[in-house]
Amino acid sequence: MEGEKRLFGKVCIVGVGLIGGSMGMALKYRKSARRVVGYDLNDDILLAAKKAHAIDEGTTELAAAVRDAELIILCTPVDILSEVARCIAPHLGPDSVVTDTGSTKGQVVREMETILPLSSFIGGHPMAGSEKTGVHASDRYLFENAIYVLTPTKNSSSGALEKVEGLVKALGAQKMLLDPQVHDMVVAAVSHVPHITAAALMLTLEQLQETYPNAPTLAAGGFRDTTRIAAGDPNLWEQICFSNREKIMGMLDVLVKHLGELKSSLKEDDRDTFRKALNRAQEQRLRIPMGLKGVLPSLHELVLIVPDAPGVIGNLGTILGNEGINIIDIEILRVREGEGGTLRLGFKSDEAREAAAGILERDGIHVHKL
């Protein structure tokens, strides 16, 4: 068992933010690496990563970080990956394997295979994340049951691929092999265009607010959930979208086509065509596999009625915390002073939600599952 756990000797994580920190936590927790070294330009980030048990040691010297590393994981923005690769190339050992976590792969893989030793690089994209950023948001279970895309090419060595597949398994993720161009087309549709669409919806609300100042007050429930991804880091999403702009523009054309068709149905009072389009959308939605994570985590939610009393929210946290259940999101939906109100609690898994519902109902708190 111990031999299986120690998959790697030294692992170097370049960029210890949400993704890099979460990887380090998972590798250390599962004892999958003898030593995890983090590289970052900021000493405070490295200190935070060490306190969070995401790395064993940190350094601001890139050459020292990658030297003698069996596996180097590049967790930097996509627009500086090639620059980082040029810096580390002279310091790689003969058996070093490099992978990245970038959200686009076509351009990245092409550049990496010209900069790094030809068979040493395997492109990667863990389909997991959060609206939050930074090492403080790291979670050792971030990749559990998430799709992790690998994009080997004809130049990739079987040994390098096997090593990165070992990383995916150690993180608790599920491997999927894709051609880099296919990957970019699919993520344009399921990740990049949805983000742009969410941003467009928020800009629509902003424009509406100029005439109707109270409009954001009504933007709860489904609107809030639909646009949640618009809360992501604008600088990061600028880099991602421009690195995949050709594929994104193609998918935006498809989206605009369907929006145009729906608009035409409304304009022409064609209810039959409109309803058939909604039926097709419903059927397609139901085909999406359950139980797998996407780029942003799903929230498994409960709505509960509580009295208006001091400390009621803290008491809920205590009740669930004593049972080992973590609340990852909380929102006050409605409240009537002196009587009570409703809260929405979010959990990371359906199992946690079910357990929380049972515990709260046992304590006489009425819950409703969303």
- Encode pLDDT of 43-90 as tens digits: 999 999 999 999 999 999 999 999 999 999 999 999 999 999 999 999
> Taking the alpha carbons of 279, 280, 282, 287 in that order, is the dihedral positive or negative?
positive
- Collapsing DSSP states into helix, strand and coil, what is residue 228? helix
Q: What is the DSSP letter of 122?
A: E
The model's pTM is: 0.76
Decide if pLDDT at 258 tops 50: yes
Decide if pLDDT at 337 tops 80: no
Interhelix angle for 271-286 vs 245-267, to 10°? 140
Architecture of domain 300-369: 2-Layer Sandwich (3.30)
Q: How many CB atoms lie within 10 A of CB 231?
A: 12
Q: How many CB atoms lie within 10 A of CB 127?
A: 21
Measured at the CA of 118, the angle between CA 246 and CA 125, to 5 degrees, comes to 45
Task: Identify the CA nearest to 142 among candidates 35, 295, 324.
Answer: 295
pLDDT band at 2 (very low <50, low <70, confident <90, very high): very low
The reply to whether 300-369 shares the fold of 183-286 is no
Tokens of 279: 């039926």
pLDDT band at 102 (very low <50, low <70, confident <90, very high): very high
Contact status, residue 355 vs residue 323, Cβ threshold 8 Å: yes
Strand partners, 72: 12, 98
Decide if pLDDT at 310 tops 90: no
Which range, of 46-60, 243-257, 294-308, averages the lowest pLDDT?
294-308
Q: How many CB atoms lie within 10 A of CB 103?
A: 26
CA distance 308 to 19: 39
Domain 2-178 has CATH 3.40.50.720: yes
pLDDT on residue 344: 82
Question: Which CATH class, in words, describes the domain spanning 183-286?
Answer: mainly alpha
Q: Give 174 or 336, the one with higher predicted confidence.
A: 174
Q: Where are the domains of the chain?
A: 2-178, 183-286, 300-369
CA distance 85 to 112: 7
pLDDT band at 4 (very low <50, low <70, confident <90, very high): very low
pLDDT on residue 3: 38
- Report the 3 state secondary structure along 269-290: CCHHHHHHHHHHHHHHHHCCCC
